[in-house]
Chain A
Amino acid sequence: MLDNIKDFASDFFVTGDPLIYGADVAIVLTMIAVVTALTYFKKWKWLWQDWITSVDHKKIGIMYVIASLLMLFRGGMDALLMRTQLAVPNMEFLSPEHYNAIFTTHGVIMILFMAMPLMFGLFNLVIPLQIGARDVAYPFLNSLSFWLFFFGAMLFNVSFVIGGSPDAGWLSYPPLSELSHSPGVGQDFYIWGIQISGIGSLMTGINFIVTILKMRAPGMKLMKMPMFTWSVLSSCLTIILAFPILTVTLALLFIDRYLGAHFFTLDSGGNPMMYINLIWMWGHPEVYIVVLPAFGIFSEIAATFSKKRLFGYKSMVFALMSISLFSFFTWAHHFFTMGSGADVNAFFAITTMLIAIPTGVKVFNWLFTMFRGKLSFPTPMMWMLGFIPCFVVGGMTGVLLSVAPADFQFHNSYFLIAHFHQVLIGGVAFGYFAGLYYWWPKVFGFKLNEKIGKWAFWLWNIGFYVCFMPQYFLGLMGMTRRVSSYGWDKGWYELNLTSTIGGFLMGIGFLFQVWQILHSIKFMEKDTTGDPWGGRTLEWSIPSPAPMYNFATVPRVSEKDAWWEEKQRIAQGLAPTPKPQLEPIHMPKNSGIPFIMSACFFVAGFGFVFDWLWMAIPGLVGVAACMLYHSFNYNTDYYIPVDEIKRTEAAAGRAV
């Protein structure tokens, strides 16, 4: 009996690596600390009522941001472990197997569990406020999306200590990811973690398209929408067209592994190349999904801190929408070396070069927005300025990669690694940081310390170039990606060491950001105006943080940058636009179903990972029961009475 348990445990838990034992201890201690703190301060009820069951887009947005910053920490730790290993090759800091697991989880976490949720967090925090709506179109679905992401991410992360991490690369190409080459459960954690959170991503895409198309304030025509809203619309359109491809591809891989089918196997008529073809049909649009909202953020920031209207509004809209369509026609540039023939490669090389044009248009729009503006340089603007040169260089190395014959040299070398980190860090991470700094006062009602923020910015920015510029050269010198070690005689050591130093500088930059947040909470500088930056769009017209119903009366919009124009009118001595009478506000009720249903999904996923049907089936039954229960629940909404609105507005110092 005891032996049985021992056997089971040694399979079930990851054993043998001191780093992982250390992590085990840290995880257990953190969990004990959290539970103790919640119990000691009697906060369980608060956690359940105010956060877990909340359908308020602002709270869901905050939870997305917190979860994604935690994932940034884990993904960043993975990155620093890899950089350490490469700075001291042949020292076996990480075993090759462990290195494989770490580069896999680093990629998956950074794209799917860091960039995506941080992006959804910003959607939630900003979009309803920016278009003058009181919530998203489907608040219940919104909460469900968050919890599906959360439990999907947890399922993926748990593989680190239970069962073993996936180690077939972030896109898990077969045949390596097939049962024949990856018999462990890691690959199943990968499939189920991504599938479960993928349902959430798809629903968020639908939710925000409907919100933007149907719930704009009266008078806000499509061509009067703020640019961030446009970028979210284009990103969400890409989501709903691209994510189903990922779901189907991973489902086929699951069928291969679980039911012994032969879609992507080497034998019995399977074709692994088909997987690569399919996964990049999602994978390429995916990078545009995450970068388009960053473009929107930069457009808002450039206009606000230049005190000018965004230059070339129409060309910007056209660029965003055309990118979201053309992103579907470039996928084969990820596998020029596959051997699809000259015609295919030429076609996809040209489409890839073409898509650089709308992106270039945007860069000029931002530059001309700043041209002759009244510029100021608080932290959001700093990130914007750091982004432009970084993204331009990253984009141009991308065009180099798109030259199909040259790509045979660059393919899977560190040149590629440097390129995509430059567009993903310089574009996406810098963009979302800029967005967080910009909207932070609106979300939390206080400003972040500027001085520490600038330290963080410079550490990140300098660290970035120190880390990734050497990698371009390493790539040209022949260093390929995913090598866990290299010989001392290769001549790669100095550049790798430099790169590692840059990586750690970015790590210190992250610590500065954490310090900045903690410092700003302690020495809180309240934002009483609701409009600390001199903003242009509707979210700045309401108190910070926004009341739970957002707008006491729904604003009427007659032009672009509605709030800026209103301020101009008031400054000229004209009367502000009259507000309609207060009316009771219709609001959605909180619900625990999204959390419970997602937890059931987690149970089902965990069961499938270990092939325990006794666990998977009850999990799926739980999911079905939750759906059924919610379908017959008609008690989903309530009204906020006028008195309460008056009290809330008065407390925020607003006349009604």
Chain B
Amino acid sequence: MAQHPAHGAHEAHDSHEAHGSLKSYVIGFALSLVLTAIPLIIVLNDVLEGTSAKVVLLASAVLQFVVQLFYFMHLKEEGKPRWNLMVLILGLIIVLTIVAGSIWIMTYNSVG
């Protein structure tokens, strides 16, 4: 906020890289709709059950996440150094630790 005149070189850098095009937004939007529709159809119409249903639901959730990141969060377009990507990876590691760790630690405590 306070600093920009001092870093004259930064000014050009700040003036936004390309943030996607109409085409990429439309593709992203379509993909996210499809990935939302798949689990809904499967569950509402009882197409799959049990483990196979869970696998498909989880897979479409993960794909949805990826689509959001690439088409709307512009993960690919970030210039170097890729802070956003690094932070995202670090965050994912921590989230994975929290979820998997809690499940593992609480296994023997979930009775009762």
Contacts and interface: CB of A to CB of B under 8 A. Distances in A.
Contacts of A586: 2-6
A277 interface: yes
B2 A241 contact: no
A271 B106 contact: yes
Interface string B81-96: 0010000001101100
Given A134-B2, A137-B1, A340 B108 contact: yes
A587 B83 CA distance: 26
Interface string B65-107: 0000000000000000001000000110110011001101111
Given A135-B2, A237-B90, A241-B91, A339 B108 contact: yes
B109 to A, nearest CB: 5
Nearest to B94: A241
Interface in A325-347: 325, 328-329, 331-332, 338-341, 344
B110 interface: yes
Contacts of A344: 104-105
A18 B83 CA distance: 56
Contacts of A277: 102, 105-106
B7 interface: yes
Interface in B1-16: 1-7, 9
A444 interface: no
A136 to B, nearest CB: 8
Contacts of B9: 218
Interface residues of A, number: 38
B98 A281 contact: yes
Contacts of A588: 1-2
A273 interface: yes
Contacts of B93: 325
Q: What class of interface size applies to chain B in its complex with A?
A: 20 to 34
Contacts of A273: 106, 109
Interface in A419-434: none
Contact of A139 (B1, B4, B7): B1
Contacts of B110: 271
Given A139-B1, A588-B1, A554 B6 contact: yes
A218 B7 contact: yes
Contacts of B2: 134-135, 139, 586-588, 637
B97 A133 contact: no
Interface string A396-438: 0000000000000000000000000000000000000000000
A546 to B, nearest CB: 14
Given A277-B106, A332-B105, A340-B107, A133 B94 contact: no
A215 interface: yes
Contact of A135 (B3, B7, B83): B3
Given A140-B1, A241-B91, A588-B1, A271 B109 contact: yes
Contacts of B6: 134, 554, 585-586
B109 A338 contact: yes
A382 interface: no
A137 to B, nearest CB: 7
A351 to B, nearest CB: 11
Given A273-B109, A329-B97, A213 B83 contact: yes
Nearest to A237: B90
Contacts of A584: 5
B94 A583 contact: no
Interface string B9-25: 10000000000000000
A218 B6 CA distance: 10
Contact of B94 (A278, A328, A332): A328
A137 B7 CA distance: 13
A274 B102 CA distance: 8
Contact of B105 (A134, A340, A587): A340
A583 B3 CA distance: 12
B70 to A, nearest CB: 23
A274 B2 CA distance: 44
A328 B52 CA distance: 33
A245 B91 CA distance: 12
Interface of B: 1-7, 9, 83, 90-91, 93-94, 97-98, 101-102, 104-110
Which A-B residue pairs are the 10 nearest by beta carbons? A135-B2, A586-B5, A273-B109, A554-B6, A241-B94, A340-B105, A588-B2, A341-B108, A215-B3, A344-B105
Given A135-B2, A277-B102, A277-B106, 15 more contacts: A135-B1, A135-B3, A215-B7, A218-B9, A245-B98, A271-B106, A278-B102, A281-B102, A325-B90, A338-B109, A554-B6, A583-B5, A585-B6, A586-B4, A588-B2
26 contacts: A134-B2, A135-B2, A140-B1, A215-B3, A241-B90, A245-B98, A271-B106, A273-B106, A274-B106, A277-B105, A277-B106, A281-B101, A328-B94, A329-B97, A331-B101, A332-B101, A338-B105, A341-B108, A554-B7, A584-B5, A585-B5, A586-B4, A588-B1, A588-B2, A636-B1, A637-B2
Interface of A: 133-135, 137-140, 213, 215, 218, 237, 241, 245, 271, 273-274, 277-278, 281, 325, 328-329, 331-332, 338-341, 344, 554, 583-588, 636-637
